[in-house]
Structure 1
Amino acid sequence: MSRRPPDGEAPVVTAIVVAFDSAHALPDCLDALRGEGIATIVVDNASTDDSAALSERRGARVIRNGRNEGYGRANNTGVRAADTEFVLIVNPDVIVQKGAVAALVDAAQRYPDAGFFAPQIVEPSGRVFFQPRSLLAKHLTNPGGKLVLPEGEACAPFFSGACFLMRRSFFLDLGGFDEKIFLFYEDDDLCRRIADTGAALIYVPQARVGHGRGRSSGPKPGLVFKSRWHQAWSRAYVSRKYGLPDPAPSMFAVNALKTLAAGLSFRRSLIERYGGSAAGALAFLRGRSALRQEGLS
């Protein structure tokens, strides 16, 4: 199912890859998709490196955003541009292994009422990434966070957004990723909305992909502060969206104190880390949106 179909037969899967200064990771990602015969759309979030041109050289269709639109918004753009039954959301630091996409499509055909199909994600160390809990899960919250891997296909309330398969029509009917979120927790939110429809989310361990966690974008000054800002803001946003206790006041208080302590030690990395979290929480408390923060509102 993942191979290119015979002439005249429509493909069934389009991969959507959102790039932001991802030229270091894209070659392996795109080459693996091309090796499996997967048509690919790369949505480039105004990269300053060779991401867009590199993607075109490797046969991907490229959509160039004039500015960084954020992860969810860019993925939505890519899904709307696709015309296949299924879409495969793929981070640029993910490498699909042989037969992985075919296994996901096979599962989707065997479970036509399910809404989300997640592969087994293997990190460079060999560790299998399987989220033991989710902030937004209404059931199986696993408060202790103990990691127990399913031995076969299984349902769970949450999976990583690094790589997954969905029917394009269902993704669009749900509204795609929440476009108020610039970065972080968009996968928690999507999984919660899928579960709220009554559709299952299914783990397909025979579909294996490699994930170089944290390698989607190249390092740059201020990236840690920005990342922590959005992580704090997005956590507060989804908590309010689903009626959970507001974590913003405590996040601000704790991280403001840690920022002051880090300042006394002159450790820039810690100042950025804790300062970003404090600033994101404070922005949420003051009613500032993530899109306004990025000049997108």
Structure 2
Amino acid sequence: MSSSWEYKPLISIIMPVYNPDTQHLIEAIESVQKQVYPHWQLCIADDASSETSDIKDILHNYEKNDARIKVIFRSRNGHISAASNSALSLATGEFVALLDHDDVLHPLALWFVAETIVKNPNVGLIYTDHDKLSLDGTRCNPYFKCDFNIELMLAHNLVAHFSCYRLNLVNKIGGFREGFEGAQDYDLALRCIECLAPEQIIHIPHVLYHWRISEKSTASCLKVKSYATTARLKSASDYLKRNNLPGRVVPHPELEGMNRIEPQFSNTLPLVSIIIPTRDRVDLLKPCLDSIYSMTTFPSYEIIIVDNASEDPETKEFFLHLEQKGVNIIRDEGIFNYSRLNNLAAKEANGELLCLLNNDTQIITPHWLEEMAFFAIKSDVGVVGAKLFYVNNKVQHGGVVLGLGIHRVAGHSFTGISSEQPGYMGRAGIQQELSAVTGACQLLRKSVFWEVNGLDESLAVNYNDVDLCLRVRDAGYRNIWTPFAQLYHVGSASRGKDTTSEKFSRFEQEIEFMQERWGKLLLKDPFYSSNLSLENGYTLAFPPRSF
């Protein structure tokens, strides 16, 4: 399979060993020996395992019978970081990969890694999907990952199992840091990542690593190694400090093993212009505004109402009341066009940040604007989205997946799950980069909005929010979704459903517009695994979609 390659990279596998189950150790070593790709070396450091065990005899035997296996025996126990560095000192390959002493590699693991290196000569970090091995050896809990995502990485170790690094990079940063035991691989990854461009980090969407669940492993429960939590939080916190990034890393309030970045602002808070298009329906608009006034703790905002040809006397009287309170009311008599209405308001907005907000929303979390503005003010961030709920507390929007749904344009993630459910691998509850977020609540810098010429008025109703996000990404910005800004959203309450023939025809035209503009991108969302379905979000695709 690799015989035709001119370049066959040598991959050094680092394995620290300390008192493992002997059968599990044997399975780990032999999973390396069974690799289809032959150009590897296994670098093992025994961290002073018990003299009464068979570990040393087993390691001596493998080293004696396979020249590709190199073993160093440490005279005293130094814990996993020190042992990993000892193993690292044996490595002579261009790349080093990490393997725990009781885990198992898929036979094609190194072949896929080597192929990726050959096709991407500047790659610095490669990571794969993984699953777990239960106590009886059954494979379970596969993690089908997305392409690299630093927000997701700061929430948990996205690249762990199986990860492979360029050796000179690992040596450059000083290898594994002692004092980070339990999260030493997470810390290593974060320190390597900050030295790499995004295109140098490549994800292989195959399950190539089997992580064994044991009584001593974090694969079963983080409480097994409480020190791992401390090390994990410090790893992420140090990353922020090294890169002069604001925020405070704390344990996720609901998801064990996950981090959460709390907002911190060093400068004066920017003015946010909250833009709300509406047509009559005071019964929706008033609760929306009341929730903003009563709940919002962010001190610096203005409200702009775009009145799209309201006729109800009650509405007109309500607008007079709002104007007396200083609310800017912009009047537009044209047919409904969400994009045009927001563009009109954006031209009059005084804020550095624009918040595009539907009139059928209500604030749940008082710090919603802090959570969103924390990301939106960053120079590399474009659009920021929130977590939206139906009034029955079921999730309405947990981000957008491109291609999801029968029309293969875009759909909401995690719709219908309860507020307590974490979603697939916790992704309904952690901050992350996404391709797009819903326009029911979007926050972005006004400069970014106009850099991409605002919302496209060719999309009057549907997908204008997704299109905006994709154009913002094309301009070089990252779109972020945070679950810590939460609102209720009724959904289409003001303008109604697309049930008439005229509305359905327009909807079909908007679908065609998106497919023509964005093409194959709609079927290859970088933040959604090709192993997952586009019919039902975050469920297994069978067979897998093309990679």
Q: TM-score under structure 2 normalisation? A: 0.39
Q: Deviations over 1:1-43 (max 9, x none)?
A: xxxxxxxx99610100011233220001111223335311011
Give secondary structure in 1 for the equivalent of 2:334.
Answer: coil
Q: State which of 97, 100, 103 in structure 1 corresponds to 2:371.
A: 103
Question: What is the correspondence of 1:23-62 to structure 2 with a 5 Å cutoff?
Answer: 23-35=282-294, 36=296, 38-49=301-312, 50-58=314-322, 59=325, 60-62=327-329
Map 1:266-281 → 2, pairs under 5 A: none
**Residue pair 1:22, 1:217 contacting (<8 A) in 2 also:** no
Residues 113-163 of structure 1: per-residue CA shift (max 9 Å, x gap): 110111111111212222452249xxxx999x7763343210111111110
Match of 1:133 among 375, 398, 401: 401
> Using a 3 Å threshold, how does the CA distance of structure 1 residues 226 and 33 change in structure 2: closer, same or farther?
farther
Question: Structure 2 residue aligned with 1:242, among 514, 518, 532?
Answer: 518
1:52 offset after TM fit, Å?
Answer: 4.7
What is residue 273 of structure 2 aligned with on the other side?
14
How large is the Cα RMSD of the aligned pairs? 2.8
Is 1:80 aligned to residue 356 of structure 2?
A: no
Contact 1:26/1:51, CA 8 A, preserved across alignment: no
Mapped to 1, the partners of 2:469 and 2:269 lie a distance apart of: 28
Using the alignment, how far apart are the partners of 1:95 and 1:83 within structure 2? Answer: 23
Quickly say closer, same or farther: Cα 1:205–1:56, change in 2 above 3 A: farther
> For residue 63 of structure 1, what is the amino acid of its counterpart?
I
1:32 and 1:155, CA in 2 relative to 1: closer, same or farther beyond 3 A?
Answer: same
Of 467, 470, 481, the residue aligned with 1:203 is: 481
Q: Where does structure 2 lack aligned partners over 5 or more consecutive residues?
A: 1-267, 415-422, 522-547
Cα distance in structure 2, aligned partners of 1:170 and 1:151: 27
Contact in 2 for aligned 1:20/1:68 (Cα 8 Å): no
- 2:454 is the counterpart of 1:187: no
Sort the Cα spacing of 1:11 and 1:215 in 2 relative to 1 into closer, same or farther, 3 A. same
- The structure carrying a bigger helix percent of its residues is 1
Closer, same or farther: CA 150–237 of 1 in aligned 2, 3 Å? same
Which amino acid in 1 is paired with 2:287? D
1:226 Cα deviation from its structure 2 partner: 3.9
Contact 1:26 1:55 in 2 (8 A): no
Unpaired runs of at least 5, structure 1: 1-8, 246-297
Cα distance between partner residues in 1 of 2:515 and 2:382 = 23
Closer, same or farther: CA 56–205 of 1 in aligned 2, 3 Å: farther
What secondary structure does 2:444 align onto? strand
Give, in whole Å, the separation in 2 of the partners of 1:169 and 1:142. 26
SS in 2 for 1:102: helix
Q: Is the CA contact 1:116–1:165 (under 8 Å) kept in the aligned structure 2?
A: yes
In 1, Cα distance between equivalents of 2:269 and 2:328: 17
Counterparts in 2 of 1:256-275, with a 5 A limit? none
Q: 2:509 aligns with which of 233, 256, 260?
A: 233
Shift of 1:210: 1.0
Structure number having the greater strand percentage: 2
Which amino acid in 2 is paired with 1:80?
K
Q: Within 2, Cα distance between the matches of 1:86 and 1:132?
A: 22
Which moved further from structure 2: 125-134 or 233-242?
A: 125-134
In terms of mean alpha carbon deviation, does 126-135 or 23-32 score higher?
Answer: 126-135
Q: Is the 8 A contact 1:122 1:209 kept in 2?
A: yes
% same residue: 24
Structure possessing the higher radius of gyration over alpha carbons: 2
Match in the other structure for 1:168: 446
**Cα separation, partners in 2 of 1:99 and 1:232, compared to 1, 3 Å:** same
Give the partner amino acid of 1:64.
R
CA distance in 2, matches of 1:142, 1:232: 14
Structure 1: distance between partners of 2:502 and 2:479: 31
Query: What secondary structure does 2:402 align onto?
Result: coil
